[in-house]
Amino acid sequence: MSDLSTLVQGIQAGNMRALARACRLIDERDPCAFELLKRIFTHEERAYVIGVTGTPGAGKSTLVDGLILLYLGQGKRVAVLAVDPTSPYSGGAILGDRIRMQQHFTDEGVFIRSIATRGHLGGLSRSTGDVLHVLHASTFDIVILETVGVGQDELEVTQLADTTLVVMAPGQGDDIQAIKAGILEVADVFAVNKSDRVGADATVQDLQQMLALRRMPTGVGKMQGHTAVSTLRAAPEAEVGEWLPPILKTVAHRQEGLADLVDAFSKHREFLTTTEAGKAIQAQRQVAEFRAILYQALIDAVDARFAEQLSEKLRDIVDGRADPYSSAELLVRSAMGESEP
């Protein structure tokens, strides 16, 4: 326990080693991690989390590097969580390069950590959420949550961000077509990067059209699948729909347009914290997060406390003596202290 207290102090002081150790505990699903998270959870002084996602080849990494530079120049403490959808088996080469490129930032006090998908249902966003709480309890002003690629998993991760930036480049029409549904729902700000190239204005127009066509208000899409309890429902559509994602042109490698981006982030932050619609979105996110934490804790508890029954039932199923649905029902009843029927 005194060891845990040291770790908590280290995190609160912004000690890089303590932060890395906490991330490792979470990553390895160490039982201490839950205890740690209970101890460090804070409602106050949270870092602002900016999710960055976008199509491959849009220059996302360069843009993130530019944002880090800009925030460092403002005297801000910055952390970067890079979410890598590649499997541990393939070595995560894409992100490896990325991390090596950013090595110089670590000298300036930027905390960089990669989180690899484990193929575990919901596991990725849950452990990312846990790591975010460690960073909230530490000394950071800004956390950049960067995803490689823009699949459904990545979109889910951006639900953990306060503000989500979607980065595209000119001439990626097909890519946009393929993923637009998800993107429209998660984007709070759009960047058309490499906007010195041909077709930038057309991409901006495409995005504008898509935004005009979309039927659902901002924020609501992000929460789909998580049923908020009735007392915490979002405000009605008209109010929830107040935020209109701006579309900004950038040339990241020349730092062009990045100050405007940061400005848009601030405006979105203001929207979240000062308007009823924004507060409703934040409350919904808290609800969704609590559910995710609760469900994971439930699963962990059943796995730990009913290990024997679980493997007994598994044997019956594999041997064809029982069906998984009835077995699940019996195990749930037994776990909840109800007698089997």
CB 7 within 8 A of CB 36: yes
Q: Least separation, in Å, of the C-beta of 41 and its own copies? A: 4
Q: Least separation, in Å, of the C-beta of 173 and its own copies? A: 12
* Neighbour-count burial of 315, counting CB atoms closer than 10 A to its CB (0-12 exposed, 13-18 middle, 19+ buried): exposed
d(CA 290, CA 120): 19
Q: Least separation, in Å, of the C-beta of 139 and its own copies? A: 19
Indicate the residue among 181 and 259 with the shorter CB distance to its own copies: 181
d(CA 96, CA 100): 6
Q: Least separation, in Å, of the C-beta of 258 and its own copies? A: 26
CB 47 within 8 A of CB 136: yes
Q: Least separation, in Å, of the C-beta of 109 and its own copies? A: 27
Indicate the residue among 37 and 64 with the shorter CB distance to its own copies: 37
Q: Least separation, in Å, of the C-beta of 53 and its own copies? A: 12
Indicate the residue among 143 and 179 with the shorter CB distance to its own copies: 179
Q: Least separation, in Å, of the C-beta of 157 and its own copies? A: 11
Indicate the residue among 66 and 85 with the shorter CB distance to its own copies: 85
Indicate the residue among 3 and 319 with the shorter CB distance to its own copies: 319
Q: Length of the chain, please?
A: 341
Check residue 162 and give left, alpha or beta (phi > 0: left; psi -120 to 50: alpha): alpha
Specify the pairing of strand 163-168 against strand 48-54.
Answer: parallel
Q: Least separation, in Å, of the C-beta of 73 and its own copies? A: 33
Cα–Cα nearest to 70, from 330, 257, 283, 294? 257
Indicate the residue among 202 and 332 with the shorter CB distance to its own copies: 332
Q: Least separation, in Å, of the C-beta of 294 and its own copies? A: 4
Q: Which residues of 227-249 are buried (b: 16+ CB within 10 A; e: fewer)?
A: ebeeeeebbeeeebbebebbbbb
CB 141 within 8 A of CB 71: yes
Pair of tokens at residue 288: 């969704």
- Residue 162: partners with Cβ closer than 8 Å, 6 or more residues away: 48, 49, 50, 268, 269, 272
Indicate the residue among 13 and 88 with the shorter CB distance to its own copies: 88
Indicate the residue among 269 and 291 with the shorter CB distance to its own copies: 291
Indicate the residue among 122 and 236 with the shorter CB distance to its own copies: 122
